[in-house]
């Protein structure tokens, strides 16, 4: 069992065809079949239901998919991290919650590169669950997330707590019976969902739900809608009069967490990343 076997499995799973998988891998169809057969012999189970119309993963195949994808990704990452150019000493992997990219992502990378130009940076922008999984699998050194998950090999600490406020693109917005007609629901994570449900127990399902705050921001600014956004991210627009706070709307807290391995492979690069992140978010 090797990486080529894993790649063959992933291609067949993606295309549903041994023939298409062979074309994408630039090998013969018999080679792909042989590689899948080796996997099935080693694992002791059938990975695909083979039909004239194609190939569908069995239950065992669906379960194996994550492990195969992880193995291939780990191999590719090892190639990038180990075989480095002379100008780089190491690569630090940063995981950034999707909604936090514009808030901290770019400047965090800039700070790390300015302090340690010999340190490469690999960035993954995703949601809390996959970022936590990437940390556990060793693809990332540190991640900032909204939804902390307890894992025995990870340290999770509260990094900061920001305020979510209801803003609108129109000045006369009120919390009346029709306030939610053009309300955009931004998914800020479990804490927000709970606070929102308590504050608006009878609220109807919004017509528009978005999981990326920057998209919601453009809707609010351009179409006069309303949404809960980070006060820090809209402060300038409130001062300019581009956006307006909705009077009487409750405020919600939005905690952010930092997670990293208990036993990092290279503590030095983790220290650089964490220290620069704390300097970035420090008041003033």
Q: Which of 207, 223, 210 is closest to 169 using CA atoms?
A: 223
- Percent of the chain's residues with pLDDT above 90: 51
Per the CATH hierarchy, to which homologous superfamily does domain 90-160+256-281 belong?
Periplasmic binding protein-like II (3.40.190.10)
CA distance 88 to 112: 13
Q: What is the pLDDT of residue 81?
A: 66
Residues 220-233 have pLDDT tens digits of: 988 888 999 999 88
76-105: average pLDDT: 79
Pairing of strands 90-97, 142-145: parallel
Measure the CA–CA gap between 258 and 161, rounded to whole angstroms: 12
Residue-wise burial string across 262-275, b where 16 or more C-beta atoms lie within 10 A, e elsewhere: eeeeeeebbebbbe
Segment 80-95 shows an average pLDDT of: 76
Tokens for 72?
Answer: 């291939």
**Is 133 in contact with 154 (CB distance < 8 Å)?**
no
- Give the pLDDT confidence score for residue 151 in this predicted structure: 86
Per-residue pLDDT for 244 more than 90? yes
Quote the Cα angle for 184-187-193, to 5°.
Answer: 105
Q: Is the pLDDT of residue 149 over 80?
A: yes
Identify the CATH number of the domain defined by range 161-254. Answer: 3.40.190.10
Topology match between the domains 90-160+256-281 and 161-254: yes
Instruction: Please answer whether residues 98 and 211 qualify as being in contact, where contact means their C-beta atoms are separated by less than 8 angstroms.
Output: yes
Model pTM greater than 0.85?
no
> Is domain 3-82 annotated with CATH 1.10.10.10?
yes
Q: Where are the domains of the chain?
A: 3-82, 90-160+256-281, 161-254
Judge whether residue 79 has pLDDT over 80.
no
Q: Rounded CA gap, 21 and 202, in Å?
A: 50
> How much of the chain exceeds pLDDT 70, in percent?
95
Instruction: Please tell me which residue, 78 or 184, carries the higher pLDDT value.
Output: 184
For position 226, what pLDDT does the model report? 92
Q: Which residues contact 144 (CB under 8 A, 6 or more apart)?
A: 95, 96, 97, 100, 104, 159, 256, 257, 258, 259, 277
Positive or negative, the Cα torsion across 193, 196, 198, 202? Answer: negative
> Considering the chain, what is the average pLDDT of its residues?
88
Q: In which element (H, E) is residue 142 found?
A: strand 142-145
Residue 1 has pLDDT above 70, yes or no: no
pLDDT of residue 188: 87
Determine the angle formed by the axes of helices 231-240 and 213-223, rounding to 10 degrees: 20
Q: In this structure, how many other beta carbons lie within 10 angstroms of the beta carbon of residue 150?
A: 7
Rounded CA-CA distance 6/61 in Å is 12
């Amino acid at each position: 069992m090797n990486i080529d076997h894993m790649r063959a499995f992933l291609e067949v799973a993606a295309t549903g065809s041994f023939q298409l998988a062979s074309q994408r891998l630039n090998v013969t169809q018999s080679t792909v079949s042989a590689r899948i057969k080796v996997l099935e012999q080693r694992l002791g189970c059938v990975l695909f239901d083979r039909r004239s119309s194609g190939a569908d993963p069995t239950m065992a195949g669906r379960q194996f998919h994550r492990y195969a994808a992880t193995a291939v990704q780990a191999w590719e990452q090892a190639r990038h991290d180990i075989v480095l150019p002379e100008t780089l000493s190491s690569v630090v992997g940063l995981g950034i919650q999707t909604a936090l990219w514009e808030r901290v992502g770019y400047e965090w990378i800039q700070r790390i590169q300015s302090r340690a130009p010999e340190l490469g940076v690999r960035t993954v922008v995703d949601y809390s669950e996959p970022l936590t999984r990437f940390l556990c699998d060793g693809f990332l050194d540190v991640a900032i997330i909204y939804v902390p998950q307890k894992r025995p090999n990870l340290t999770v600490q509260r990094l900061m707590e920001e305020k979510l406020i209801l803003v609108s693109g129109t000045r006369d917005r009120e919390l009346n019976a029709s306030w939610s007609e053009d309300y955009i629901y931004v998914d800020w994570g479990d804490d927000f969902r709970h606070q929102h449900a308590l504050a608006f127990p009878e609220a109807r399902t919004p017509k528009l739900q978005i999981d990326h705050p920057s998209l919601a921001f453009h809707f609010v600014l351009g179409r006069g809608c309303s949404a809960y956004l980070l006060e820090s991210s809209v402060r300038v627009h409130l001062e300019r009069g581009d956006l307006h706070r909705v009077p009487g709307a409750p405020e919600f807290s939005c905690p952010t967490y930092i997670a990293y391995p208990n036993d990092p492979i290279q503590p030095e690069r983790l220290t650089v990343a964490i220290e620069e992140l704390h300097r970035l978010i420090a008041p003033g």
